Amino acid sequence: MRQQPTIFFLFVTLISFAQNQGDWKKSAFTFTPEILVGLTMEANDGFPETKLQKQLILNFGRYHNNNPQQWAQRLKAPKTGLSLGITDFGNRDSLGIAISAMPFIEFKAFGSEKWSVLTGMGASYFTKKFNEETNPQNQAVTTDITWAFRMYLYYQFLSTKDLDWRLGLGYSHHSNGHTRLLNQGYNSFLVSLSADIKNPLGRAGITSHEKFPEYQKSVYSYIAVRGGLGQNVFALAFNDKRNVYTIAGEYGRVYNNTFKIGLGFYYRFYQHYYDYINGNESLVQAGREFDYFKGNPWYYASNLGITVHGEIFLNHVGIDLQLGYNLHKPAYKLEWRINEGWDNTPREIPKSWVLGELDGSYKKKHRISSRLGLKYYLIGMEQAPKNNFYVGAHLNANLGQADFTELSLGYVYSFNHRAQN
């Protein structure tokens, strides 16, 4: 299953369905060219020298001042759209360039019209990647297509009739979601100059006889279940993709058809862990540290945890963030031993080989999981349906370090609404 191209097209499709009602036509289009410069951080020892990083991004979006749907009003009329960009990391011979496509959402910040925060998540195509013979120093990317993420703070310093000039400061990241090693990823800090070009409709409110609905506060409870199919790799010596299977459930509440918070659980089964144990590989052989894993490979290849889950609804689209605590993930210790010791740990590991220490970093990553991505709901959440289905694309991580890339299918059952005082 080639997940990353699938996720790329899925993200672009998702954002196009964020609105599908007549009020969408009243929202003002914007076009915002953006020039960015900054630093490409070193991804590994011996990383190629880089000059100033340069980016050109074209942002196509809509303001939602004229959108009467509840989510747009609750979120104070954000801007949504698609960013298309090209990045020169400062060393074309070793790092090449990246071509990116990212759906984004931009919110007003600090209660001011001049400040805003933008976050986007999508995918990038790279012209250069790690190659053991021809490009060994660049260990940041080993796949043609990666996840891409950006978060920026903007200040509007000059406004004219047709243009809003803005300065920005932010962070950009690219990585392949642990679908192939090496995967150090690109981390960059940049400043930007952009010009928000206003369309003839401007940003004025609705001037027709229509009025915004007066939404009352509401809250209702829900239960949800989902199944996920992910992929990752295990180590350099086991650098082929294997599946990660997930079953999860949760209970929570939805506020004003816009915000969701819930508590839940997840069960995951890692095929790579199971194959390593069942195949009697080095560290589970008799007399080695994890030889007891062979007594029950399924048990030791499993992962069980509890979660806190938050989501923002943009009608059909959900922006999804989950934090979890692993109650049971024994094979992560095995993975850490192999990957955090000497570089290029071989498949047959000598007993004298230096393995990764189970230090404080291990303890935190072993316990804390995270999950970030987008969902598309069959029925728009604006309608608060009793039964609903969604598809999702997510990046799962161990305390910020990529674990696996996942596609999921879920079902949500909502209980009766009630007004809030």
Same domain? 237 vs 346: yes
Q: What is the CATH number of the domain that holds 258?
A: 2.40.160.20
Q: Is the pLDDT of residue 163 over 80?
A: yes
Question: Helix 331-339 to helix 271-278 angle, to the nearest 10 degrees?
Answer: 80
Q: What is the pLDDT of residue 2?
A: 46
Same domain? 295 vs 408: yes
Mean pLDDT of the chain: 88
Same domain? 75 vs 193: yes
Same domain? 189 vs 225: no
Q: Is the pLDDT of residue 398 over 50?
A: yes
Same domain? 119 vs 32: yes
| Residue 213, domain member (yes or no) | no
Same domain? 189 vs 286: no
Among 142, 164, 198, the domain boundary falls at: 198
| Residue 185, domain member (yes or no) | yes
Same domain? 148 vs 270: no
- Tally the domains of the chain: 2
Q: What is the pLDDT of residue 270?
A: 98
| Residue 203, domain member (yes or no) | no
Same domain? 287 vs 394: yes
The distance of Cα 205 from the centroid of its chain, to the nearest Å, equals 33
What is the pTM (predicted TM-score) of this model?
A: 0.86
- For range 311-332, the mean pLDDT: 95
Torsion on CA atoms 397, 46, 350, 329, rounded to nearest 10: -10
| Residue 28, domain member (yes or no) | yes
Q: What is the pLDDT of residue 253?
A: 96
What range does the domain containing 127 cover? 3-198
Residue 11: pLDDT band (50, 70, 90) is low
Same domain? 282 vs 164: no
